[in-house]
Amino acid sequence: MDADCLIKLTKSRLKETVCKNFSVVIPMYVKQEVVDNAGERPDSVIIGENIEKQLLSVDKSVTVAAKGEDAALSLYQQGGFDAVCSDDKKFIRKLRLLDVPYITPSVFIVILLKDGTLTVGSAMERLEDLSPFVSDDEYQTVKLVLENWRLQ
């Protein structure tokens, strides 16, 4: 997971649910970016606590990276992961070009709904919490999926 995704999941109150239902690993570079170099921002403190409680894992194997996205991709390429988690449009284009599976923060809502972790109502609430941080297209697409799920 890269920093962008991690921060958006934290701000939308989705991170703990995601971390409890998925094995989430962040590269050391992302930890440094989001926790170590971010001061006492509330999101940074929460993420630091999640690391201490081992809700999030930090991988130290990627030592050379220009930024968190590069470190996340390098970590994925080492193997053992199903996807890279990001919400950075430029990075997602790169992942598509490299045929690397990826998950965005709003897609987690749909996955958690499908596996029964979230109800439609709680999924809609999490989407609303996430809405200031995602594109209107992504918001509308996930909202449509949730509304159609309600009709099933």
Same domain, 132 and 97: no
| 19 and 40 co-located in one domain | yes
Question: Could you report the per-residue pLDDT of 7-54, keeping only the tens digit for each?
Answer: 899 888 898 999 999 999 999 989 988 898 877 788 888 899 999 999
Q: Residues 96-143: pLDDT tens digits? A: 999 999 999 999 999 999 999 999 999 999 999 999 999 899 999 999
Residues 89 and 127 in one domain: no
Identify the pLDDT of residue 150. 72
> What pTM does this model have?
0.86
- pLDDT of res. 65: 63
Q: Are residues 20 and 92 both part of a single domain? A: yes
Strands 57-59 and 25-27: parallel
For the chain, how many structural domains are there in total?
2
Query: Does 58 lie in the same domain as 114?
Result: no
Does residue 118 sit in the same domain as residue 48?
A: no
**57-59 and 102-103 strand pairing:** unpaired
Cα 67 to the chain's mean position, in Å? 16
Residues 73, 125 within the same domain: no
Return all residues near 136 (Cβ < 8 A) that are at least 6 apart.
none
Domain that holds residue 118: 106-151
Same domain, 23 and 92: yes
Q: What is the pLDDT of residue 39?
A: 75
Q: How many CB atoms lie within 10 A of CB 34?
A: 24
